[in-house]
Amino acid sequence: MFASFETPDYERFADELKRLLEENEAAIGELLKSPEKSYGNFVRPYMETFEKVDLFFTPLSHLNSVENSEKTQKAYEASLPLLSHYHTRLSQNRELFEVFSQITGEDTAQKEVVRLELRDFRLSGVDLPEKEKKRLEEIDLKLSELSNRFSQNLLDATNAYELIVEDPKDVEGIPESDLELAREERDGKTVWRFTLQIPSYMAYMSYGPNRALREELYRAYVTRAPQNAEVIDEILRLRDEKAKILGFDHFSELSLATKMAPDDDAVVGFLEELAEASLEHVDNEVEKLREMAKEDGIEELQSYDVAYYSEKLKRAELDFDDETTRPYFEQDRVLQGLLDFVAELFGISFVETKVPVWNEKVRVFDLQEDGESFARIYFDLEARKNKRGGAWMNDWQTHHEDEKGREHPASAFVVCNFPPSTKEVPSLLRHDDVVTLFHEMGHAIHHLFSRVKERFVSGIHGVAWDVVEFPSQFLENFAYEKDVLDRFARHHETGEPLPADLAEKIKRSKNFLAAMGMLRQIEFALFDFKLHQRLYQGEEVQKLLDSLRERLSPVKPPSYNRFQWGFAHIFGGGYAAGYYSYKWAEVLSADAFFACYERGRIEKEMTDGYRRHILEKGASEPMDRLYRAWLGRDPDPKALLRLYGLTEAS
């Protein structure tokens, strides 16, 4: 049965959560008293207690991101210590550890549950003296509080800023759809308001003609939340202390203990290899931008010029302006086209359903096969003031069987920040937005398609963090293909299909300035990973970033740029010493894409195998083993360079 989304009682939430956790602990206590313990009568009911917590807590954590308010913040912050204490008590419970040590699963998935649980018990300090266990508990609680503070600081700073433009000359060239959203009447005159919300920010950075205003907006964006400097220092200190308590030299080693990459050298070597391949191509790309800027009298290209001249260069070199695609990508049509494509690719259907939601613009669909619903997905796609920036998939229910053999369905949320629609203006997406939607949908179907019976390895649960991006990146590659775009790209006013030449330009734009884009991601990944290879504090953090920029940034950011204050992936999310995962997983996704789609043709036998071996299997086996079971070989690392056109032949 699908859970019904209900707004929590914020005032009583922490008390209700505490009661639920106490009930769970009592139930687990009864399980431990049982004289006969097997996988069926112990592990499955134990896993069910985690599903109960997710069903109860996820709506609050979700609302704290998409409808943030003082009430959600207060209830969320009050819940963090309760959850932290609860999970620490379980993960450090020696009696639980010994029971799992004696249980052997009957099949591959059950054996993997036991293996992962024993690993996680050890990584939680189950073998440590009580004093060190207590310190780990304190650290984990503090880290969860700091992560939340980092994200809240960033959201507050984003919402607090606005740039008011009064001179019409300063908005010339900005697309009308963006101007419509920015236009306001103040004191009897028309002005344009730009914010640090990504749709608004990128509109001016990409098209705003006034360089001084671009820098003003850029400076505000890259210096958001300066109070996060102290938060970062404290997070890094605690992560380093935690790693050392658990017997690791530094946090990156602790991070890799749960990932596919074997060690630090493998990660750094992989990133450096990609960097070398990209550096061979980047000088030519940057020189083109500099030449274009010189035509406007700019002698030294700056970071706040890059998006603007990239758009101009794209128009000049590819005869392509991403803005020209927007009339063809009306949000509702794109969403329906994506659903139709996924349905055809994997032999299912999506049926829209009316159920309780948190915002009137949220849409909900049930996934069906042979007329039976097996999963549910919620889409919240438009930007609004009290919504955290970015895009993500958040799982809610997880497919599994409980101890009585009853099957439970999966559900998930897909969240984006696309331009909001109004009565006068529909939500029109850039092609980059379309790619983002495909990406998050790839995460969602990885969770929703699971047929695994064991909750801890079903869907995205238990998947190594450095391969969790594989299914999302796999699906996003299709968003550049003409035969896929033709399914939904229609002019929102005339109904005219996307012209063939424009579809070709979209495909060519995929690798436009590819080396610059690759190096930017490698810079982020190396900064994250090296930051966790020893303890950095204060200005050392900036010096590390500057040293990487000196080698990898083809356009050096200004000295005031404090990117780290807004690096939510590693300080407000789960990517610490793991941002490299995007590129690591992209090797698998590129190789898999070429296996399933060559020369405009979908290989149905291969996509069927992809669903059967990858999407449906969750983490029931390690991803490298699942991949070999599907294709009979390991992924080809050269596929990634081929995808980006960075091979020697390019």
pLDDT (tens digit per residue) in 7-22: 999 999 999 999 999 9
CATH 1.20.1050 domain range(s) in the chain: 13-91+93-127
CA 467 vs CA 178, 549, 572, 619: distances in Å: 36, 26, 20, 10
Confidence of residue 181 (pLDDT cuts 50, 70, 90): confident
Whole-number pLDDT of residue 621: 97
> Alpha-carbon distance 570 to 337, whole Å?
33
Mean pLDDT of 41-52: 97
Confidence of residue 32 (pLDDT cuts 50, 70, 90): very high
Whole-number pLDDT of residue 648: 53
> Alpha-carbon distance 133 to 246, whole Å?
10
> Is a pLDDT exceeding 80 seen at residue 650?
no
Token look-up 């098209």 returns 207
Mean pLDDT of 434-455: 98
Q: At what angle do helices 264-294 and 303-318 cross, to 10 degrees?
A: 70
Over residues 316-367, the pLDDT tens digits come to 998 888 788 999 999 999 999 999 999 999 999 999 999 999 999 999 999 9
Least confident of 23-27, 75-79, 176-180, 266-270: 176-180
Whole-number pLDDT of residue 376: 98
Residues paired with residue 330 on neighbouring β-strands, in sequence order: 428
Q: Which residues of 135-152 are buried (b: 16+ CB within 10 A; e: fewer)?
A: bbbebbbbbbbbbbbbbb
pTM (global) more than 0.85: yes
Torsion sign over Cα 353, 358, 362, 367: negative
CATH 1.10.1370.40 domain range(s) in the chain: 327-513+582-643
Whole-number pLDDT of residue 649: 38
Helix (H) or strand (E) holding 402: none
Average confidence score pLDDT of the chain: 95
Over residues 383-439, the pLDDT tens digits come to 998 998 889 999 999 999 998 999 999 999 999 999 998 888 899 999 999 999 999
Residues marked active site are found at: 440
For 13-91+93-127, give the CATH class. mainly alpha
The CATH architecture of the domain made up of 327-513+582-643 is Orthogonal Bundle (1.10)
